[in-house]
């Protein structure tokens, strides 16, 4: 079809999934894969996968399927995973530290370039070869480091303030883990991950 006008959010959420699966196939040496093979990997319908992929041009080969290498490259480019993404982590409590470790490993193109906290015991300490800054230094340090993504792992009471400091400092995307509904800056892509709410959703199914 035409060029990526605007990917629908649900399609977008599946692309990284496809990509992950394709990389596994790539490592196994598989060169081609059909939509129905992909479909049974995840629990999705083959036609949905085809529709998702067809939005970015026709790179399937009828009768054969998709070339794994080509699809990986294309999706990587589409998602912007062919560049390095610099991230800042705010809040170095147990969750923030775990996330820092968790998100920067692997061959992923996400690198942590700054860390912040307000706790005197943690400010100045080391995260790998990074120094933990005080959160009040966000406005200076963020532009210096060039971070564009921030991971927010502070207590709910501090989250809104930190969020605003970050967005004011030029951060363009935020992944929030504080259990609070942020008042969003519309210019900044903001995604919230709220464990408490997930648990409460699960609890609903256990009211037997």
Binding site for a second copy (CB under 8 A): 7, 12-13, 15-17, 19-21, 41-43, 78-81, 83, 85, 93-95, 97-99, 101-103, 108-110, 148-149, 172-173, 175, 179, 181, 184, 189, 191, 193, 195-207
Residue 63 binds which entry of a second copy, DNA, none, CB below 5-8 Å type-dependent: DNA
Q: 16-52 as b/e, with b when 16 or more CB fall inside 10 Å?
A: eebbebbeebeeeeeebbbbebbbebeebeeeebbeb
Residues forming contacts to DNA in the complex (CB under 7 A) are 1, 8-11, 34-36, 44-48, 50-51, 53-54, 58-66
CB of 21 to DNA, least distance (A): 13
CB of 120 to DNA, least distance (A): 43
Choose between 128 and 204: whose C-beta lies nearer to a second copy. 204
Choose between 54 and 61: whose C-beta lies nearer to a second copy. 54
Contact indicator for 165, 171 with CB cutoff of 8 Å: no
Residue 204 binds which entry of DNA, a second copy, none, CB below 5-8 Å type-dependent: a second copy
Give 6's contacts (C-beta < 8 A, 6+ positions apart): none
Let me know if 192 is exposed, middle or buried by CB neighbors in 10 A (0-12, 13-18, 19+). Answer: middle
Rounded to 5 degrees, what angle do the CA atoms 111, 122, 116 make? 40
* Beta-ladder partners of 112: 87
Structure tokens given for 157? 């009471």
Choose between 24 and 45: whose C-beta lies nearer to DNA. 45
């Amino acid at each position: 079809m035409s060029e990526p006008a605007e990917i629908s959010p649900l399609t977008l959420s599946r692309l990284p999934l496809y990509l992950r699966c394709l990389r596994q196939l790539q490592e196994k040496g598989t060169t081609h894969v059909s939509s129905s093979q992909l479909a049974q990997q995840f629990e999705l319908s083959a036609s949905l996968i085809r529709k998702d992929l067809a939005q970015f041009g026709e790179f399937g080969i009828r009768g054969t399927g998709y070339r794994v290498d080509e699809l990986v490259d294309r999706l990587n480019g589409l998602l912007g995973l062919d560049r390095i993404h610099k991230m800042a982590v705010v809040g170095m409590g147990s969750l923030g530290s775990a996330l820092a470790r968790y998100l920067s490993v692997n061959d992923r193109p996400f690198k942590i370039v700054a860390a912040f906290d307000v706790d005197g015991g943690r400010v100045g300490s080391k995260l790998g070869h990074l120094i933990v800054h005080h959160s009040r230094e966000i406005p200076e340090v963020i532009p210096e480091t060039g971070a564009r993504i921030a991971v927010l792992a502070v207590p709910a009471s501090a989250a809104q303030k930190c969020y605003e400091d970050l967005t004011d400092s030029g951060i363009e995307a935020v992944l929030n883990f504080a259990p609070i509904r942020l008042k969003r800056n519309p210019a900044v892509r903001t995604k919230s991950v709220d464990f408490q709410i997930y648990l409460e959703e699960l609890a609903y199914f256990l009211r037997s």
